[in-house]
Structure 1
Amino acid sequence: MAGYDVLVRCPVCRHEQIYAPPAFPCACGAPVVPPVTHGAAVALTHRTPADAWVTVRCATCGRGTDWPRPELGCACGTVLRVPVTSEEGAEGAERAEGAGAGGGAREPDPGDGTCALCAPEGDEGAAPCASCAPKSRPSLTPPHIPLPRTAPTPRYAFRPLPVRGARDAVATCARFLRWLGYEDVREAYPAEERPPSGTRLTALGVLAQIEPTARPASLRDVECAWLTAMTHTVTCACFALSGFTPAARSRADELDVALFRIELSGTPEPLNGAADELTATGA
């Protein structure tokens, strides 16, 4: 049936076009082409799994198999379902396969309706043969749909080191960022944008502002760090040895900036929801 083309007419715009039905591979190796008809097609407005398939019988081996119903797109935007002839006849032939003369492979048993192949004497629990097994339509969905990652990647426990000065505070922040998954942590070069106070660390995907002195980080510190992070489209995090002013904390919540207080034990403590999320998910 290769090269079998039909003329299909759209019921919406009356446009006519040539349609060549696809050839599907039968289990016997022969191509199976749905017997489509000429003329008006049906505008498809709703597709359901039940009517998305049609049983087509192989002309070579006589096997009836479910294949997708032929569809065609019209230039007016309508999806057309091309009619297939003898659908009921094909399904009836499948059900009657082997029951008539010349079947040879099946022998109906009037007692229980099964054939001799799938129910030999003395073996009532035998599995049905391929002809008697229930026919199932191909699934429209894959057996497994990958879900997005909802749990953080397991990490080893953070190992803190005591903080005895400003340099220790900066080193603690660098170690903490690497623990989160930022591998290329480095201190901002002098030629780059310098913070109003403190130290700034950068890595691929993150900018960290650190206030390693006894002064609480101010509103200006948080806003300057956030503006720089937005310029480079990276995550912004602020660390402070003595915490943050109330105005700075309030503004950080509005801007979704992660705030951490550096404990003298060497552990950065999350102070807001953004910091909790960054600690849980990492880079």
Structure 2
Amino acid sequence: MSVCCPSCGSRHVFRAAAHPCACGAPVAPILRADAPAEPVTHRAWADEWVTVRCAACGRDGDWPRPELGCPCGTALRIPVAGAGTDPVPPGAPQPARAPHTERPAHIPLPRTGRTPRPPFRPTTIRTSQDAVTAAALYLRWLGFKSVVRAGTVPSPGGPEDTGVDLRGPDVVAQVDPTTSPASLRAVECLWLNGLGASTASVYFALAGYAEDARSRADALGLPLFAMDLTGTPQPVNGPAAELVSAGP
């Protein structure tokens, strides 16, 4: 389905992700082409789900509402058919997701000579702690070793500054599950934490990034990823695309 971002006017082709029903059949919600995508300005966990009926067994299940991260930093909620509707039949053709339309700040390096990664297996996000877990899984999938949860690390600007949620021998990461785009200050605080630990810094956010935060991250070479409730991060700047392509 073609999706237009109301913030920047960019158009994308979106395909709803399929999730396995308890019976094993893939289930995907029906997308509404007659309704516009809406920016995500407020998140309530109870409102982030849609009920879809499995065409194979007739069971109703709750699945994450489809979302798309626009390169401009806006998180878009894709309209779907009402609760209890039949999904797209398994195997039915759908438009493929459009490739990332933003020109990356760096040319992604090929993974020549590296062992190919297995497919990433996301974990559904229902709570803020699930978001941290999903980011940890993704960092390990990228190739960072021994990534664990970390306590909040005080930042130079004061106790209210953003800290670190995940830490490994060669990486620190922040996971922002809030309803507001990540700020310039948050990005700079994470970069300072990485600088102090002599490690890479990686940022994950559910609501995207402020424009000045993205510009600063590009200048610092800090990878930014957007997350949706399926738990699959998507790169939103050049350093992130390069990290996915070349690894740590």
What is the TM-score with the length of structure 2 in the denominator?
0.50
Aligned to 1:179: 141
- Matches for 1:59-138 after TM superposition, within 5 Å: none
SS in 2 for 1:202: strand
Q: Distance in 1 between matches of 2:209 and 2:114?
A: 28
Aligned to 1:196: 161
Among 250, 253, 256, the residue aligned to 2:221:
256
Q: Does 1:164 pair with 2:123? A: no
Structure 2 stretches of 5 or more lacking a match? 1-110
Q: Which AA in structure 1 matches 2:237?
A: N
Q: Distance in 2 between matches of 1:263 and 1:269?
A: 9
CA-to-aligned-CA distance 1:142-180 (integer Å, 9 cap, x gap):
xxxxxxx84543110101122112111111000001111
CA-to-aligned-CA distance 1:48-82 (integer Å, 9 cap, x gap):
xxxxxxxxxxxxxxxxxxxxxxxxxxxxxxxxxxx
SS in 1 for 2:207: coil
Deviation at 1:206, TM superposition (A): 0.8
Among 186, 193, 197, the residue aligned to 1:228:
193
Q: Highest CA radius of gyration, 1 or 2?
A: 1
Question: 8 Å contact 2:226–2:233 — kept in the other structure?
Answer: yes
Aligned to 1:88: none
SS in 2 for 1:238: strand
CA-to-aligned-CA distance 1:180-219 (integer Å, 9 cap, x gap):
12221112235x4367247521111111111111121100
Aligned to 2:237: 272
Structure 1 stretches of 5 or more lacking a match? 1-148
Rate the CA distance shift 1:216–1:198 in 2: closer, same or farther, 3 A.
farther
SS in 2 for 1:167: helix
SS in 2 for 1:153: coil
- Matches for 1:235-254 after TM superposition, within 5 Å: 235-254=200-219
Q: Distance in 2 between matches of 1:153 and 1:270?
A: 21
SS in 1 for 2:202: strand
- Number of corresponding residues: 134
Rate the CA distance shift 1:225–1:197 in 2: closer, same or farther, 3 A.
closer
Considering Cα pairs closer than 8 Å and 6+ residues apart, tell me whether 1 or 2 has the greater RCO: 2
Q: Which AA in structure 1 matches 2:154?
A: E
Q: Does 1:154 pair with 2:116? A: yes
Aligned to 2:171: 206
Q: Distance in 2 between matches of 1:172 and 1:198?
A: 18
Question: 8 Å contact 1:197–1:211 — kept in the other structure?
Answer: no
Q: Distance in 2 between matches of 1:208 and 1:198?
A: 9
CA-to-aligned-CA distance 1:67-124 (integer Å, 9 cap, x gap):
xxxxxxxxxxxxxxxxxxxxxxxxxxxxxxxxxxxxxxxxxxxxxxxxxxxxxxxxxx
C-alpha RMSD of the superposition: 1.9
Deviation at 1:256, TM superposition (A): 0.5
SS in 1 for 2:139: helix
Q: Which AA in structure 2 matches 1:174?
A: A
Question: 8 Å contact 2:148–2:166 — kept in the other structure?
Answer: yes
Question: 8 Å contact 2:146–2:168 — kept in the other structure?
Answer: yes
SS in 2 for 1:225: helix
Q: Which runs of 4+ in 1 moved over 4 A?
A: none
SS in 2 for 1:171: helix
Q: What is the percentage of aligned positions where both structures have the same residue?
A: 46
